């Protein structure tokens, strides 16, 4: 195991996430928040937070700049999440979200994020090579900040694959398309990101199955398509591929933000634990559902996930055309 790490998460566009609870929120009006929550954020950090709650050893890395970058590292340290970020000159972003529990709405305002120099990016690549030596999985997740080529994830995945690491990718747009072609072990887009990747909307079972097949043909060995109601999966064992639909139990959600990150974290943790496809999907979807009962991405109560796991419905499906 080398460094003794198990999962490394990579957040290229880390942030300070500020979530305000504002009942009866209306545009153009003055409001007083009933509650506020500040967390280190970005998809990879959300995944690291969920893994920590599952008791899985994890280290969060990526890029952090300026005073906001210092705050990100401080917040992670306060949560006892191991972290090893490359410090950059430009300021990391701050994201603000407003939750209206009465109207059931969620409004997000995200900054673009920092500009990254080639030298800073090279430092990160060197750190990833080092950290990957002791990692069972390296999870690349989220958007890319300015100054980074769309092919960065593809370059990093190819390099770590070549060194024997197991790579996971969760992104969108061109970074996702190019990254999938680098043949990561697992890709995990949400429904909207998967539709954009394959170039068609998903309206029924056959559309989702076709989407899974198309993404696998692009280069991904395993595929998870996450959605608020559960996920779809194409998972390989040796040369055989199995296809699944996993439906989440009905809950009364407070906020679904970050539920896909928790789902992915729980799936990877379950596979690391040697669980079967169906067991891993049940654990993943239950954790994702449990996360919708809390404000703050990556936060959930593992006991609540355990309570929901028996209500997750997993069905194995035949390929389209069979």
Contact 249, 282 (CB under 8 A): no
Going by their DSSP bridges, the two strands 7-11 and 35-41 should be labelled as unpaired
Closest C-alpha to 88, from 59, 111, 62, 126? 62
183-198 pLDDT, tens digit per residue, is 999 999 999 999 999 9
Instruction: Specify the pLDDT at position 254.
Output: 84
Q: Is 84 helix (H, G, I), strand (E, B) or coil?
A: coil
Instruction: Specify the pLDDT at position 186.
Output: 98
Residue 4: is its pLDDT beyond 90? no
Is 80 within the bounds of a domain? yes
Contact 294, 300 (CB under 8 A): yes
Residue 234: is its pLDDT beyond 50? yes
Torsion angle of alpha carbons 34, 45, 76, 156, nearest 10°? -160
Contact 11, 60 (CB under 8 A): yes
Mean pLDDT of the chain: 94
Residue 172: is its pLDDT beyond 50? yes
129-168 pLDDT, tens digit per residue, is 999 998 999 999 999 998 899 999 999 999 999 999 999 9
pTM for this entry = 0.94
Going by their DSSP bridges, the two strands 230-237 and 222-227 should be labelled as antiparallel
Is 322 within the bounds of a domain? no
Return the structure tokens found at 308.
């929901």
Contact 6, 135 (CB under 8 A): yes
114-133 pLDDT, tens digit per residue, is 999 999 999 999 999 999 99
> Domain of 65: which CATH number?
3.40.1190.20
CA gap 214, 242 in Å, rounded: 14
Sequence-distant (≥ 6) Cβ neighbours of residue 287 within 8 angstroms: 50, 54, 262, 263, 265, 266, 300, 302, 305
The mean per-residue pLDDT over the stretch 309-322 comes to 89
Is 98 within the bounds of a domain? yes
70-114 pLDDT, tens digit per residue, is 999 999 999 999 999 999 999 999 999 888 888 878 888 888 889
Is 209 within the bounds of a domain? yes
Q: Is 218 helix (H, G, I), strand (E, B) or coil?
A: helix
Instruction: Specify the pLDDT at position 2.
Output: 42
Residue 253: is its pLDDT beyond 80? yes
Instruction: Specify the pLDDT at position 7.
Output: 97
pLDDT band at 182 (very low <50, low <70, confident <90, very high): very high
Q: Domain span at residue 221?
A: 7-317
* Three-state SS sequence of 123-135: HHHHHHHHHHCCC
Instruction: Specify the pLDDT at position 34.
Output: 86
Return the structure tokens found at 200.
């068609």
Q: Is 165 helix (H, G, I), strand (E, B) or coil?
A: coil
Is 1 within the bounds of a domain? no
pLDDT band at 256 (very low <50, low <70, confident <90, very high): confident
pLDDT band at 5 (very low <50, low <70, confident <90, very high): low
pLDDT band at 1 (very low <50, low <70, confident <90, very high): very low
CA gap 262, 51 in Å, rounded: 8
Residue 40: is its pLDDT beyond 60? yes
pLDDT band at 263 (very low <50, low <70, confident <90, very high): very high
213-232 pLDDT, tens digit per residue, is 999 999 999 999 999 889 99
Instruction: Specify the pLDDT at position 14.
Output: 97
Sequence-distant (≥ 6) Cβ neighbours of residue 315 within 8 angstroms: 244, 245, 246, 247
Instruction: Specify the pLDDT at position 233.
Output: 98
The structural domain count of the chain equals: 1
pLDDT band at 33 (very low <50, low <70, confident <90, very high): confident
Sequence-distant (≥ 6) Cβ neighbours of residue 16 within 8 angstroms: 38, 39, 40, 41, 68, 71, 72, 75, 92, 93, 94, 95
Please state, for a pLDDT cut of 90, what percent of the chain lies above it: 81
Is 2 within the bounds of a domain? no
Instruction: Specify the pLDDT at position 322.
Output: 58
Tell me how far CA of residue 147 lies from CA of 20, 100, 155, in angstroms: 31, 35, 15
Is 190 within the bounds of a domain? yes
For 72-89, b/e burial (b = at least 16 CB within 10 A) is bbebbeebebebebbebe
CA gap 156, 153 in Å, rounded: 5
CA gap 290, 299 in Å, rounded: 9
pLDDT band at 3 (very low <50, low <70, confident <90, very high): low
Q: What is the largest CA-CA distance in the chain?
A: 59
């Amino acid at each position: 195991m080398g460094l003794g790490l198990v999962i490394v998460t990579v957040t290229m566009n880390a942030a300070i996430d500020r979530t305000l609870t504002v009942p009866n929120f209306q545009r153009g009006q003055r409001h007083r928040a009933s509650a506020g929550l500040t967390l280190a954020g970005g998809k990879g950090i959300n995944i690291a937070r969920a893994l920590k709650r599952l008791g899985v050893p994890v280290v969060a890395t990526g890029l952090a700049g300026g005073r906001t970058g210092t705050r990100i590292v401080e917040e992670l340290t306060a949560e006892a999440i191991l972290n090893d970020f490359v410090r950059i000159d430009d300021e990391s972003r701050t994201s603000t979200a407003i939750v209206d529990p009465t109207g059931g709405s969620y409004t997000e305002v995200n900054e673009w994020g920092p500009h990254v120099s080639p030298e800073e990016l090279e430092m990160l690549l060197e750190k990833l090579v080092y950290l990957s030596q002791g990692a069972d999985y390296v999870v690349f997740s989220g958007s890319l900040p300015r100054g980074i080529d769309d092919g960065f994830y593809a370059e990093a995945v190819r390099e770590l694959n070549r060194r024997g690491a197991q790579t996971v990718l969760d992104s969108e747009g061109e970074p996702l398309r190019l990254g999938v072609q680098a043949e990561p072990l697992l890709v995990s887009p949400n429904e909207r990101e998967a539709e954009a990747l394959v170039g068609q909307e998903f309206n029924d079972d056959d559309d989702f199955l076709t989407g899974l097949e198309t993404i696998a043909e692009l280069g991904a060995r395993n595929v998870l398509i996450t959605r608020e109601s559960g996920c779809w999966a194409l998972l390989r064992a040796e040369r055989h591929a199995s296809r699944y639909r996993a439906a989440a139990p009905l809950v009364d959600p407070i906020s679904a933000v970050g539920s896909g990150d928790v789902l992915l974290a729980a799936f990877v943790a379950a596979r690391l634990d040697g669980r079967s496809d169906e067991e891993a999907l049940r654990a993943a979807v239950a954790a994702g559902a449990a996360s919708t009962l809390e404000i703050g991405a990556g936060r959930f109560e593992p006991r609540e996930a355990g309570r929901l796991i028996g209500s997750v419905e997993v069905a194995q499906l035949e390929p389209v055309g069979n």
